[in-house]
Structure 1
């Protein structure tokens, strides 16, 4: 019985993570600080995408304030030498 409860909870967690990763759930984050950083660095979004090796789909997700992987956030922070709070903000 207890294993069924654990399995059900894990199912819910994986379902939610899957929906987030597919952009079906809107997260309360904005990447507006990233766009300001690009302006300050005199980089277009296309140049930024090409330099970091990001896909057009990832750039689109950033533009729509959707979920992107921690790997993407790490690439951005490492490239600019900044912290995550310098490229995104929590809206709640």
Structure 2
């Protein structure tokens, strides 16, 4: 199972914020922002700070994705990735 922060990125677009705006307003580190960009796990504290600044709940910015249900990815040559 993986985490997806697509809801967070969509919310930032709606607010016309950059990821750097989010980092500054929530006071999360650049390392945490990089983890979010990669879809890595970050601390609950960081996610709650984001929720506080955005006035939302966790399920408004993050969702779980079951890897076996995820869409297959393709390589640059159009073939399915392993």
Q: Which residue of 2 aligns with 1:38?
A: 12
Encode CA deviations 1:35-63: one digit per residue, 9 max, x unaligned: 00000011001111011111110000000
Q: Which residue of 1 aligns with 2:56?
A: 82
Greater share of residues in helix: 1
Q: Which residue of 2 aligns with 1:8?
A: none
Structure 1 segment 66-77 matched on structure 2, within 5 A: 66-77=40-51
Q: Equivalents in 1 of 2:54, 2:43: separation in Å?
A: 17
Q: Equivalents in 2 of 1:77, 1:54: separation in Å?
A: 12
**How many aligned residue pairs are there?**
66
- What TM-score, normalized to structure 1? 0.68
Q: Which residue of 2 aligns with 1:91?
A: 65
- What TM-score, normalized to structure 2? 0.76
Q: Which portions of structure 1, spanning 4 or more consecutive aligned residues, are displaced by more than 6 angstroms?
A: none
Matched, 1:50 2:24: yes
Partner SS, residue 42 of structure 2: coil
Structure with greater Cα Rg = 1
